[in-house]
Structure 1
Amino acid sequence: MAYFSQQLINAITLGAIYGLIAIGYTMVYGIIGMINFAHGEVFMIGAFISLIGFIICSLLGIGSAPVAIVLVLLVAMAFTAVYGWTIERLAYRPLRGSFRLAPLISAIGVSITLQNYVQLTQGARPKPGGQIVSGGYNLFSADGFDVRVTWLQLIIVIVTVVLMAGFTWVIARTSLGRQQRACEQDIKMAALLGVNVDRTISLTFVMGAALAAVAGMLFLMYYGVIDFFIGFLAGIKAFTAAVLGGIGSLPGAMLGGLLIGLIEVFWAGYFSSEYKDVAVFAILVLVLIFRPTGLLGKPEIEKV
């Protein structure tokens, strides 16, 4: 029971990170119906910007961890927001009226470009990030095993819940959210009704990139090491989480992220860590066979 509880805590933490990345995928798909395969690299860049930010804070003598985290988070979100806007402006907007594979190929090209750009500027070796937040709390002990939740795990879960609630409120209650939902239903009709479609789509990319920056910083703090390739695998798993939960649904993206975290951690803990990725994609295949729209997704209804 103690081992199971510890693995559950680890799985929820990992799933929260995947969920934050998956929201970026599902927001873009919900509005323009296309997958931003460069989103994983934006997450990776957010992690590197966070690493550089923590190093600068250390050089400037900022010893307070909360102050350093807030400053680095704001800077990382600002920089990755620029990357998100640039990707939409260069790789998606010119191809919006083209055939559906064109933006997909363009996004893959951007993904490869960003990977190599970071590899050239930061090097191919893994970069250690150090321990930003330490300590934790022992929940209980059983059979000589301590079930422990670290302060960093609590921070990750709390930040994820707050951001999820905040973005849900933005989409449900604000003018920007109404414009996003209008574009999701019918872009042409939304434009006819006065919605600035280009601005709405750009802001959606910016919001998704900012969330990826948060996930990148939390990933750096949790694992303590990053490299230029982390965006590929994390991006694929986050995309899997978005599809599993129902792409286009924000709660579905978070649910899918938690499920991916649970499958990965428990499979590695009870069976074999070498095949945890196989287990994740096998579950995805089974879900898509019996529920093609995902767990919380809705079937698309084409109006004629």
Structure 2
Amino acid sequence: MERRYWQMIKKAQLFFLLALVHIGISARQQPKMASQNPSPMIEHIRPHERVPDISNSGLYEEWPNILPKRVHFFLPEKMVTDSINLLIHFHGAQNVVNYTVSHNPGWMAITVNLGSGSSVYASPFSEANTLDKLIQAASKASAKPIRGIYLSGWSAGYGAIRSILRNETKHRIKGIILLDGMHAGYVPNGTPLAAGGKIDPNDLSPFLDFAKSSIEGKTQFIFTHSAVFPGTFASTTECADYLIQALGLDLRPFLTEGPLGMQQLAKASKGNLRIMAFAGNSAPDHVDHLHAMYWFLPLLK
């Protein structure tokens, strides 16, 4: 009887050890968290219309020596104004940017595409003279006085704008349009708000300062966002909420159809600041904001 008892004990110990080994192997096989959790690639709730991929009439130039990749300049045909606004756009198809300024008289555009991730945009513009080089090149190409300098960024392009707002060239910027592009890190790193994390305020402080300037009427700031949730860093929705709370604004429900079939859900505004919330957590919803740039640009007064 005693012998059988000890045999049962040994079997239980062996089973326990095997279970620990299995747990250890399973833990090692768990995949690492992705840098961004992918959003669904398709959905059929909204039409996701796109601006036509056409060649707009005007002056085209490519500048190979200012940034790590070629910069594209476009001046629409029949520009009759004595002076002109310059829109510098970061991240996104050149034809969309050219379509935007072609359908909004008084604008010319520079399109900057440097790759994936906000860091590739942030690094070159940490030096103040980078922006100055772009402005000088545009002035020379257009042969017209520049009336105002405006920045726009879609998705990762916000990285360049944040760097510009951190250096001495920020005083040259009259207005900014962020198209579903403003992100920040979580503190602790990778810990979402629902899990007890917080948004790193240092990542949003340049945008918060510019928002205050726009409320005071000194600049203009338009920020649109979808409901895409990256998971490992703060979403555009969370960044919008951060600004709204920090500035003491009221977010008002505002259900209406937007450009290209987009669906607007809410808005917050004061002075020259506008924050516009749109439905959608899929990749096409994200791209909608870029293609709707032609519609958002006239909101700059």
TM-score, length basis structure 1: 0.26
Larger strand proportion, structure 1 or 2? 2
Larger helix proportion, structure 1 or 2? 1
Between 1 and 2, higher relative CO (CA 8 Å, sep ≥ 6) is seen in 1
Q: Which has the larger radius of gyration?
A: 2
TM-score, length basis structure 2: 0.26
